[in-house]
């Protein structure tokens, strides 16, 4: 850049000189002819960039490149303040309706991205910051909303944060980050359990989850961290003993390979042997919590080990099932039906050069992996929940180790729901699932949330004196600049079909469990980029009519696809969509459905949608209550509550509604 930090502080804008950087060395391998050209990102290069923290009224409604860049940065600004005691929120629109149930909306997400020593981490590596919105904690609080927010006191958080001075020094680089300060080469502090991805309440326990380790238990009322919680236990159920099933040949070879890498992963890099996925499921029919764990070595080997657990309301394990699948997959979310677990396989492979760079500390650990687009189809594994009982589980009659290949190459991000329908007359089963998916041509580990990890800082001998920090700063986010590039998440209109969108898959099984038909189609007429599908939780695992999701209106020129600015309600049976949108320069997170009735089994859309609105232009957060039945109408907003500016928080990931009947 042509101005120093001191100059930037003295003025509202600064000039950016386009960098003159030599291209990286050409690869000797040409891409397969069948692969299309990568999607082209919408450029947001601009000659003026507003300094974060500077806002003027005349820019509040601006839709230009500078505003787009600035707004995106504000979505991931660190929040150092906590609210250990409830702060009553001010209603700026409407009020809590009389029939809104009592309970607490918990929202998990990162809160700290930049330390006091020059290091910035990827949003996925940001320390967990739990937000809680409490509705009607007592008769005197009826109609009011109390807000609390606390950091999860994980082992990494306690090491990296000094509670006396309030300062932060990152020592764990995390799977997606490289530290600017501290030791990079040989830094084996990788698995930074930040408990920032999702939150759930089951029985009397409140847990914050992360993708790579044990969840942390939180005291529900104070949000104090109790400590790690091992989600395991002895089997106490008529479901029978634990069953382990293996598939494929050559297991001895991969057992030997696993034995070779385990000491490195477990010993050197301190990875836990089992990593519990951050996405869990609740089976309302059996009143059970369902979780799944994978082995740490699965990330490096062409096989996956899945351990499914089911718990009753007292957190006693009542069912356990283990499967080993001969495929190299990355799983973030999964689904279940009455008789099946559903794994949609996102195919990956090891990147040898990336692995060397990652292990040496020169690039994030995720650089060791890349997507594997070698096949045109996507594997779906239908794993029987009760394989020892063919009469109880249709899937027990088929070879579950052979995936059903969906005739599309898709990367699944999040499931919305799954269910099955049994034709008792002829014994056939139809399984359907709804999900948010994207194309392999768009998904890239290195560019999640707008990251561009350049090779330039790591190989200056290729580029000599041209290797300067200011040039790198203007090319996107990297560990030195700490900036996110929103153009990575937004592509040209002709490539928008590659972005996250909502689909429904249908799989037909005959009486012997063999697949006779498999198809995939758009979930509805809605075609805009969408993710975070949600339903009325009482219908989880059952046929549902409505799906709610975060989506984009497409009205913003520079950020047409992401971040989302709308909630869409899809009527699957009617193939229709209705939408509520925020105003200009405001974005939203994940929508959550809250039933009016405690059971939730009244009319499916009889309830409310909770969603956080991020007004980045004025640096405010609002909790918005929408009437689920009136989405698409002018009076959809029931109430909007403002979070005090000093507690304004960055974008969250996943939330959970804990009704008063759930023990809190």
Which residues make up each annotated binding site for Fe cation? 332, 414, 654
Three-class DSSP labels, 49-114: CCCCCCCCHHHCCCCCHHHHHHHHHHCCCCCCCCEEEEEECEEEEECCCCCCCCEEEEECCEEECE
**Cα(15)–Cα(66) distance, rounded to whole angstroms?**
11
Spatial CA neighbour of 280 closest among 225, 186, 215, 189? 215
Q: What are the beta bridge partners of residue 24?
A: none
**Cα(509)–Cα(518) distance, rounded to whole angstroms?**
9
**Cα(256)–Cα(559) distance, rounded to whole angstroms?**
49
Pick out the residues of the known binding site.
332, 414, 654
664, 317, 196, 276 alpha-carbon torsion, rounded to 10°? -170
Token digits of residue 504: 């429904």
Give 180's contacts (C-beta < 8 A, 6+ positions apart).
117, 118, 119, 120, 479, 480, 482
Contact present, 200 and 207 (Cβ < 8 Å): yes
Spatial CA neighbour of 483 closest among 110, 192, 41, 75? 75
Spatial CA neighbour of 664 closest among 227, 218, 85, 129? 218
* Per-residue CA distances from 179 to 4, 31, 125, 182, 604 (Å): 22, 32, 11, 7, 47
Give 525's contacts (C-beta < 8 A, 6+ positions apart).
575, 576, 577
If one counts every other C-beta atom within 10 angstroms of the C-beta of residue 134, the result is 23
């Amino acid at each position: 850049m042509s101005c120093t930090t001191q100059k930037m502080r003295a003025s509202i804008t600064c000039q950016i000189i386009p960098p003159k950087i030599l291209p990286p060395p050409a690869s000797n391998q040409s891409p397969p002819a069948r692969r299309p050209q990568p999607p082209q990102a919408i450029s947001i290069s601009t000659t003026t960039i507003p300094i974060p923290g500077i806002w003027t009224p005349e820019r509040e409604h601006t839709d230009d490149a500078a505003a787009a860049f600035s707004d995106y940065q504000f979505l991931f600004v660190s929040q150092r303040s906590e609210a250990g005691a409830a702060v009553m929120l001010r209603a700026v629109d409407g009020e809590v309706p009389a029939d809104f149930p009592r309970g607490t909306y918990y929202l998990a997400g990162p809160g700290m991205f930049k330390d006091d020593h020059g290091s910035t981490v990827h949003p996925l590596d940001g320390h967990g910051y739990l937000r809680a919105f409490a509705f009607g904690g007592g008769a005197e609080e009826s109609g009011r909303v109390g807000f609390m927010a606390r950091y999860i006191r994980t082992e990494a958080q306690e090491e990296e944060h000094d509670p006396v001075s309030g300062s932060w020094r990152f020592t764990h680089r995390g799977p997606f980050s490289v530290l600017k300060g501290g030791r990079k080469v040989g830094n084996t502090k990788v698995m930074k359990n930040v408990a920032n991805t999702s939150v759930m309440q089951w029985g009397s326990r409140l847990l914050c989850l992360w993708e790579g380790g044990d969840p942390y238990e939180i005291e529900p009322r104070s949000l104090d961290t109790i400590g790690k919680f091992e989600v395991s236990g002895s089997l106490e159920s008529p479901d029978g003993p634990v069953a382990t099933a293996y598939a494929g040949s050559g297991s001895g070879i991969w057992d030997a390979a696993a034995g070779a890498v385990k000491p490195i992963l477990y010993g050197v890099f301190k990875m836990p042997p089992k990593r519990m996925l951050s996405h869990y499921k609740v089976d309302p029919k059996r009143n059970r919590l369902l979780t799944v764990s994978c082995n740490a070595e699965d990330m490096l080997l062409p096989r996956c080990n899945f351990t499914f657990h089911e718990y009753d309301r007292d957190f006693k394990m009542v069912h356990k099932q283990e499967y080993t699948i001969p495929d190299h997959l990355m799983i973030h979310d999964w689904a279940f039906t009455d008789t099946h677990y559903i794994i949609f396989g996102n195919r990956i492979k090891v990147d040898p050069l990336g692995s060397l760079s990652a292990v040496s500390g020169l690039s994030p650990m995720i650089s060791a992996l890349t997507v594997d687009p070698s096949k045109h189809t996507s594997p779906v594994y239908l794993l029987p929940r009760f394989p020892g009982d063919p009469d109880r589980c249709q899937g027990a009659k088929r070879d579950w180790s052979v995936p059903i290949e969906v005739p599309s190459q898709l990367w699944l991000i999040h499931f919305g729901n799954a269910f099955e329908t049994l034709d008792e007359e002829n014994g056939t089963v139809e399984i359907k699932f709804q999900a948010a998916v994207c194309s392999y041509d768009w998904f890239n580990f290195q560019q999640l949330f707008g990251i561009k990890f350049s090779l330039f800082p790591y190989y200056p001998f290729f580029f000599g004196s041209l290797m300067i920090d200011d040039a790198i700063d203007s090319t996107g986010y990297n560990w030195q600049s700490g900036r996110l590039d929103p153009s990575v998440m937004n592509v040209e209109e002709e490539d928008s079909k590659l972005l996250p969108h909502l689909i429904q898959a249908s799989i037909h099984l005959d009486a012997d469990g063999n697949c006779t038909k498999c198809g995939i189609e758009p979930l509805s007429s809605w075609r805009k980029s969408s993710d975070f599908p949600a339903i009325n939780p009482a219908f989880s695992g059952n046929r549902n009519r409505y799906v709610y999701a975060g989506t984009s209106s497409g009205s913003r020129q520079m950020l047409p696809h992401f971040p989302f600015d709308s909630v869409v309600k899809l009527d699957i049976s009617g193939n229709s969509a209705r939408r509520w949108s925020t105003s200009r320069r405001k974005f939203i997170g994940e929508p959550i459905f809250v039933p009016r009735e405690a059971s939730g089994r009244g009319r499916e859309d009889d309830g409310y949608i909770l969603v956080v609105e991020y007004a980045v232009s004025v640096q405010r957060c609002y909790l918005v209550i929408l009437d689920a039945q009136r989405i698409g109408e002018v009076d959809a907003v029931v109430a909007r509550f403002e979070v005090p500016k000093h507690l304004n928080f960055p974008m969250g990931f996943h939330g959970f509604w804990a009704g008063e009947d759930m023990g809190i």
